[in-house]
Amino acid sequence: MLDTHARKMVQPPIEHTAKWFLNKGFSANQVTILALLAGVGTSLLYVFGFPILAVLFLWLSGFLDAVDGTMARHTKTTPFGTVMDITFDRVVEVSMIVAIAYVHPEVLWPLLLLTVSIVISMTIFLVVGTVSEKAGIKSFYYQAGLAERTEGFILFSVMLLFPSLLYWSTLLFFVVELFTGVQRFIEARRILT
User: Which pLDDT band holds residue 136 (cuts at 50, 70, 90)?
Assistant: low
pLDDT digits (tens, 9 = 90+) for 105-130: 999 999 999 999 999 988 988 888 77
Among 137, 45, 21, 19, CA closest to 100 = 45
Residue 7 has pLDDT above 70, yes or no: no
pLDDT digits (tens, 9 = 90+) for 72-103: 988 887 889 889 999 999 999 999 999 999 99
Distances (CA, A) of 48 to 41, 45, 62, 161: 11, 5, 21, 14
Q: Greater confidence, 96 or 143?
A: 96
User: Which pLDDT band holds residue 4 (cuts at 50, 70, 90)?
Assistant: low
User: Which pLDDT band holds residue 140 (cuts at 50, 70, 90)?
Assistant: low
Predicted TM-score (pTM) of this structure = 0.86
Judged on CB neighbours under 10 Å (0-12, 13-18, 19+), 76 is exposed
Q: Greater confidence, 129 or 186?
A: 186
Distances (CA, A) of 42 to 53, 168, 175: 8, 21, 24
Tell me the average pLDDT across 120-149.
Answer: 72
Tell me the average pLDDT across 133-149.
Answer: 62
pLDDT > 90: percent of the chain? 64
Q: Which residues, at least 6 apart from 121, have a Cβ–Cβ distance to it below 8 Å?
A: 145, 147, 177, 178, 180, 181, 184
pLDDT at position 128 is: 84
Give the span between the Cα atoms of 149 and 96, in whole angstroms: 14
For residue 140, the one-letter residue type is: F
Fold held by 2-192: Four Helix Bundle (Hemerythrin (Met), subunit A) (1.20.120)
Distances (CA, A) of 74 to 32, 40, 69, 87, 92: 15, 27, 9, 22, 25
Every domain of the chain and the residues it spans: 2-192
pLDDT > 70: percent of the chain? 89
